Amino acid sequence: MNSVWARLTHEQCQQLHSASLEILERTGARLFNDEALALVCKAGAKVVEGNHVRFPARLVEQALSTAPKSITLFDRNGRPVMPLEGNNSFFGPGSDCLNIVDHRTGERRRPVLQDVAEAILVCDALNEISFVMSMFLPSDVRQELADRYQMEVMLHNTTKPIVLVTYETSGCVDAVEMAEAVAGGADALRERPFITCYINVTTGLLHNADALEKLLFLAEKGLPALYIPVVSGGTTGPITMAGGLALSNAGVLVGLVISQLKREGTPVIVPGFGGDALDMRTMVDPYCDPDPRGMAQSLAHFYQLPMFSLGGASESKLVDQQAGIQAALDMLIPAASGGHIIHDCGYLESGLSGSLAQLAICNEVAGWIRHACRPVEISAETLALDLIDQVGPDGQFLKLPHTRRHLRERWYPTLMDRDTYDGWLAKGGKPLGERAGEQVSQILATHHCEPLSRTSAEAIRRVVLRAEAQSGSESPAPVSGGSYA
Amino acid sequence: MHEEQFNAMRQSIVDGAPESARESANKALALGIDPLDAINKGFVLGLNSIGEQFNRGEVFLPDLVMAGEAMKAAVAVLEPEMQKRGTQREILGKVVLGTVKGDIHEIGKSLVSTLLTASGFQVFDLGVNVPIELFAEKARELQADLVGVSALLTTTMQGQKSVVEALDRHGLRPKVKIIVGGAPVTRDWADKIGADGYGQDAMAAVAVAKSLLHK
């Protein structure tokens, strides 16, 4: 994909980088993990008091020189499918919505594990969706083990790469064990990773124990981690975009330093968002805020690091005009500014709800964007000067083989209506949201994911059952939506 | 009488300026204005005005929070004089407030604390990561009317249920009411765990607190 838009200039990125370095050297951060603390202190960080440390700039520059500039994510079968580099953009859903807006009824309700299975199956089928996240938080399983069930269901229902989110470190360890079982061992997974773990960090300068434990664990495993400090402008950071991004980026650099000290060359994926703010009237976290758009993509490109962007989310409560407009705008900008992994397609209500109909609409938008941003081939074949000359001023191109040869290269909608008025009416005269819901139902009725081997399925079930046993449960939930080969 | 002074008091709250509020309060005392009058005819009117503007979307949350801080500053100056005179500001109720164990998110809870205080409640803020039992113990010790439990994570939300159970166990209910809040918290959840009230944001929390205590 061609990058068509850069929000920040190189000089502005340099200013932000210097600002983040100053924050780390002057203000410092707290690390709630002894190993991380010991690593940075040994490397030259200065303890202010307790777990509050200041980082000299050279630690950051050193880490930036060893962190990989490119990461490739593979699919479940070990095929390279997501080269995270340059201006390659890949779209996928978000994780853990507390509600589902049911595509069959429009009802907003608590999701169950079957909804997660359906969401992943739909992602598996949709062409423009390149990776999956859990989409929903299932309410019908033991809450502290929901991450294990989500992982099992994702492994069963798609071959696409998985961005996983877990509560505690133990959930991350279990999820990696499940992925290793499917990949055929730890080495196989490290060589061809089809998972990456999303690590939420409290703020730019508060690095919670779970986040650091997960980062160190994944570094040891040699698996890619997404290290994402959350800074909300006006509450946990400055409300100005520059200050907010400088602060969250300082947190990203802390993660980068620790990961590289743990194991040089550890793959780390940085956030392609930042400089956000809460809505100061409602306290809602707007997922589709125009102000910070594109800044973090510029910064990640400045560092030449793989990034995890945000796009396709809406603050709307239903699949309506607002949801469509916001998703489209907010998918186009991260793609046009070269965002790599773009997640949160299908999110409504700032991520508190998710909709599969909305996800299908995002899939349609993603195809549109891929076509709008792809490089244009200019060659003898595509210029077709000889044909133009042969046809002359009075002829036409309808019957030429050249037309049939190339017509399918252009984008055709699967959901957007391009019918004549009568044609549209004859098909029921339905609005987009309804057509998208029908597409989802059609997929669920017909699509099947390539099944896991019996050995893999049994191995991942054992991890779930072990976690259940450790938490003292006697009634684990059955596998959802999975079938054995 | 003292019209200009009352206006200045009101304005200091609208401006969200604790320094001016403190200054106006001191001036009121120097002029011999009854501290209760200063509150009811001056500062509270500012608070009402900013609340209405917030509801109309004309001012933003930080404006509201700073109005609350200005109110606290004014009351702190006037309180010793009220005690001396044997009068006190009408307290709408005593509230014990905290973020539940396992959760260190502070901002939402503190916002509720500020707005409740500014609205005339006496708030005992237990902070974050508060053990379940401590909510019950403090409610008993302080003879609280209301306990507020905050949680930002779906995992720590379960702790709100435990606080409800702890208050039951201590025989404090239904005299002591419980309100819950936090991003993942819904009315359904509040009903399910047997809480008495729920507010979707800090302003709503104040309204719920008032209605539960029939104020």
Instruction: List, for residues B128-152, the tens digit of each pLDDT value.
Output: 889 999 999 999 999 999 999 999 8
Q: Please list every residue in chain B whose beta carbon sits closer than 8 Å to the beta carbon of residue A282.
A: 201
Q: Please list every residue in chain B whose beta carbon sits closer than 8 Å to the beta carbon of residue A234.
A: 61-62
B28-64 residue pLDDT tens: 999 999 999 999 999 999 988 998 898 888 899 889 8
User: Which residue is closest to A352 within chain B, CA to CA?
Assistant: B184
Q: How confident is the model at residue A484 (pLDDT cuts 50, 70, 90)?
A: very low
| B57–A143 C-beta distance less than 8 A | no
pLDDT of residue A3: 59
B82-124 residue pLDDT tens: 988 888 888 899 999 999 988 878 888 988 998 888 888 999 9
SS3 B86: coil
User: Which residue is closest to A168 within chain B, CA to CA?
Assistant: B155
> Considering chain A, what percentage of its residues have pLDDT values greater than 90?
91
* Chain A residues touching chain B at CB-CB below 8 Å: 96, 98, 137, 143-144, 167, 202, 234-236, 278, 280-283, 352
Q: How confident is the model at residue A438 (pLDDT cuts 50, 70, 90)?
A: very high
A376-404 residue pLDDT tens: 999 999 999 999 999 999 999 999 999 99
Average pLDDT of the residues of chain A: 95
Q: Which among A98, A167, A282 has the least Cβ separation from residue B155?
A: A167
Among the listed ranges A122-131, A145-154, B102-111, which one has the minimum average pLDDT value? B102-111
- Mean pLDDT, rounded, for A362-371: 97
User: How many angstroms away from the CA of A98 is the closest CA of chain B?
Assistant: 8
User: How many angstroms away from the CA of B24 is the closest CA of chain A?
Assistant: 28
A70-113 residue pLDDT tens: 999 999 999 999 999 999 999 999 999 999 999 999 999 999 99
pLDDT of residue B102: 82
A24-50 residue pLDDT tens: 999 999 999 999 999 999 999 999 999
User: How many angstroms away from the CA of B109 is the closest CA of chain A?
Assistant: 13
Among the listed ranges A76-90, A345-359, B5-19, B82-96, which one has the minimum average pLDDT value? B82-96
Q: Please list every residue in chain A whose beta carbon sits closer than 8 Å to the beta carbon of residue B155.
A: 143-144, 167
> Measured in Å, how far apart are chain A's first and last C-alpha atoms?
37
| B154–A202 C-beta distance less than 8 A | no
Helix pair angle (A113-125, A432-446), 10° resolution: 90
User: Which residue is closest to A145 within chain B, CA to CA?
Assistant: B155
Helix, strand, coil % in chain B, rounded to nearest 5: 55, 10, 30
Test the A interface: residue of B56, B65, B115, B155 with most A CBs within 10 Å: B155
Is the pLDDT confidence value at B215 over 70? no
Is the pLDDT confidence value at A482 over 70? no
Is the pLDDT confidence value at B156 over 70? yes
> Considering chain A, what percentage of its residues have pLDDT values greater than 70?
98
| B155–A281 C-beta distance less than 8 A | no
C-alpha Rg value of chain A to the nearest Å: 23
> Considering chain B, what percentage of its residues have pLDDT values greater than 90?
60
User: How many angstroms away from the CA of A280 is the closest CA of chain B?
Assistant: 5
Sorted by where each starts, the structural domains of chain B and their CATH numbers stand as 3-85 (1.10.1240.10), 94-212 (3.40.50.280)
> Considering chain B, what percentage of its residues have pLDDT values greater than 70?
99
SS3 letters across chain A: CCCCCCCCCHHHHHHHHHHHHHHHHHHCEEECCHHHHHHHHHCCCEEEECCEEECCHHHHHHHHHHCCCCEEEECCCCCEEEEECCCCCEEEECCCECEEECCCCCCEECCCHHHHHHHHHHHHHCCCECCECCCECCCCCCHHHHHHHHHHHHHHHCCCCEEECCCCHHHHHHHHHHHHHHHCCHHHHHHCCCEEEEEEECCCCEECHHHHHHHHHHHHHCCCEEEEECCCECCCECCCHHHHHHHHHHHHHHHHHHHHHHCCCCCEEEEECCCCECCCCCCCCCCCCCCCCCHHHHHHHHHCCCEEEECCCCCCCCCCHHHHHHHHHHHHHHHHCCCCEEEEECEEHHHCEECHHHHHHHHHHHHHHHHHHCCCCCCHHHHCHHHHHHHCCCCCCCCCHHHHHHHHHCCCCCCCCCCCHHHHHHCCCCCHHHHHHHHHHHHHHHCCCCCECHHHHHHHHHHHHHHHHHCCCCCCCCCCCCCEC
pLDDT of residue B71: 92
SS3 letters across A387-407: HHHHHCCCCCCCCCHHHHHHH
Q: How confident is the model at residue A241 (pLDDT cuts 50, 70, 90)?
A: very high
Question: Taking the CB of residue A320, how many other CB atoms lie within 10 A of it?
Answer: 15
Contacts of B156 (CB under 8 A, 6+ apart): B100, B101, B102, B103
**Amino acid (one-letter) located at A133:** M
Is the pLDDT confidence value at A446 over 70? yes
Between A348 and A480, where is the model more confident?
A348
pLDDT of residue B202: 83
Distance of CA B20 to the CA centre of its chain: 22
Test the A interface: residue of B61, B64, B111, B153 with most A CBs within 10 Å: B61
ipTM above 0.85, yes or no: no
Indicate whether this model's pTM tops 0.95: no
Average pLDDT of the residues of chain B: 91
Chains A and B: how many Cβ contacts under 8 Å?
Answer: 30
| B184–A98 C-beta distance less than 8 A | yes
Q: Which among A98, A143, A282 has the least Cβ separation from residue B158?
A: A143
